[in-house]
Each structure stands twice: as structure tokens, then as C-alpha cells.
Amino acid sequence: MKKNIITIAGKLGSGKSSTGKKIAQKLLYQHFSSGDFYRNVAAQRGVTITELNEIAKKEPEIDYEIDDLLKKKAFDKDLVIDSRLAFHWIPDSFKVYLEIDSRLAAKRMVADLDINLQRKKSEKLLTIDEMVIDSQKRLDSEIQRYKKLYDVNHTEHAHFDYIINTGLPENNLESVVEKIKKAYLQWLKN
């Protein structure tokens, strides 16, 4: 049975949180970001996201805590979740994947460091080149951990109902939100 839940996964810097917040506003849904939750955990421990990913390899309780929270969200209604694994824990959701070129994503994340205090606390890199390298390390770590813990690769497009490249010039935030909203409403009807 289809749920009134949109789960948004995607590459680092693809705009998961921005897109999730905007879609939630347009649909008058609640929004939850597991990325924000994870950044808070990193800040509380005084480490970067990359360092927390390395810690999580040895302490799976970190992933389990977030995943347990996501599993509980499956019982909510009218919700948009941006998360790497929400699609896996809420299979009856409308599952969206945001694709983007890694260099463009790194540019976005470096620019976001200036305005996003939460990201600034958990991601200390300043150059685009450093961000590209760090993002790849994070992605590799996540793929490895999720494969080991749950036998799932969160980057495989086959898991998703709708895939969009947020790095294309015609796909600014507003157009991405409108395209996802339209696809979601159609999905609900079918």
C-alpha cells in the first residue's frame, strides 16, 4: 500500500535537504533530515562527518540508531524524508534519487559551509578539491557499511521510482521540486 511519504536519497551535495524541505512546504508535509541528525551526532562527538563514518564502521550502533528512527517514521503520514536509506526502510514510499556530478556537488557543499552552521560544525574542509576527495571517502564508506549491515547499495538507481540530475542547468531547485511533486502526485494516483 502506497504511503504519503516521499523518501529522497542521492549523492552528497545533490540538494537532498533543500529539495526535501521545499517539497514538504509545497505539499504541507512534515520534513525530516537524517543528514541533519547525523551532523548533530558528529558535532556532539567533536568529529567531522568523514571521521564519524570511520567510527561507524567499528560502531554499527551509530547507523542502527538512525535506522531505528527511520523505521518509526514509516508509520507517519504526509512526510518528506531526506536520507540515504529511508527508501529501504519505507519501501511503500515514493522513492527519489538525486544525481549530480561530484565536482559540482563539492562546489555546492563548500559554498554551503558559509551559510549552514550545522554543516560547518561537522565538515571542516574548505577547498573544492578537498571536498571532492572527502565526499568520495564518505560515499565509499557508506556503500561499504550499508552493504555489510543490510546488503543494500543506496546508490543503485533500480531502487528508486524517480531519478533526477540536479546538476543540469535546467534543473534548479524550483524546477526539481516541481518535477518531483508532479511525479509523486501521479504515482499516488496509479
| Residues 66-85 pLDDT 10s | 899 899 999 999 999 999 99
Q: Mention every residue, 6+ apart, whose C-beta is less than 8 A from residue 88.
A: 150, 152, 154, 159
CA separation, residue 65 to residues 60, 70, 72, 91 (Å): 9, 9, 11, 19
The pLDDT value given to residue 124: 63
CA separation, residue 126 to residues 113, 129, 160 (Å): 8, 9, 32
DSSP state of 168: S
Which structural domain range is residue 112 located in? Answer: 5-150+159-189
CA separation, residue 27 to residues 6, 8, 32 (Å): 11, 15, 14
Q: What is the model's pTM?
A: 0.88
The pLDDT value given to residue 117: 57
CATH number, position 180:
3.40.50.300
Pairing of strands 162-165, 30-33: unpaired
Distance, CA of 21 to CA of 15 (rounded, Å):
10
Low-confidence ranges of the chain (pLDDT < 50): none
The pLDDT value given to residue 122: 55
The pLDDT value given to residue 11: 94
User: Per the structure, how many domains does the chain have?
Assistant: 1
